[in-house]
Amino acid sequence: MAVQLGSVLMDACVLAVVMREDTYGYKLTQEVQKVMDVSESTLYPVLRRLQKSGFLKTYDCPFQGRNRRYYSVTEKGKEQFCQFYNQWELLRDKIDDIMQQGMLE
């Protein structure tokens, strides 16, 4: 896809995926890659950033003799996601408008 996501949208998308259910890095990457062409190398910094801001927390779960690190949305993260979502709706409508007007010409 030619359109590049900014870091704010990227944060919002990752929060959205984790909002559905707690998940771990590998699965998260596969989920996100279904929708957009994001190289995984950008996903770790996103997760780290969200964690540092207190939007995500992590916990380890034993799996086949090792630990899997799960990410989970905090209360603060849920609030942040709602804000993201509202802002996204506004932006989406405006961009829709501009794009559609262009198509009509």
d(CA 23, CA 69) in angstroms, rounded, equals 8
Q: Which is nearer to other proteins, 40 or 93 (CB)?
A: 40
d(CA 17, CA 36) in angstroms, rounded, equals 13
No. of helices (H) and no. of strands (E), the chain = 4, 3
C-alpha distance from residue 32 to each of 37, 66, 77 (Å) = 8, 24, 18
Q: Would you count residue 72 as binding other proteins (CB under 8 A)?
A: no
Q: Which is nearer to other proteins, 41 or 100 (CB)?
A: 41
DSSP state of 5: P
Q: Would you count residue 79 as binding other proteins (CB under 8 A)?
A: no
Binding to other proteins (CB under 8 A): which residues in 26-45?
26-27, 29, 33, 39-42, 44-45
Q: How far is the CB of 29 from other proteins (least distance, A)?
A: 7
Q: Which residues contact other proteins by CB under 8 A?
A: 24-27, 29, 33, 39-42, 44-45, 47-49, 52, 64, 66-69
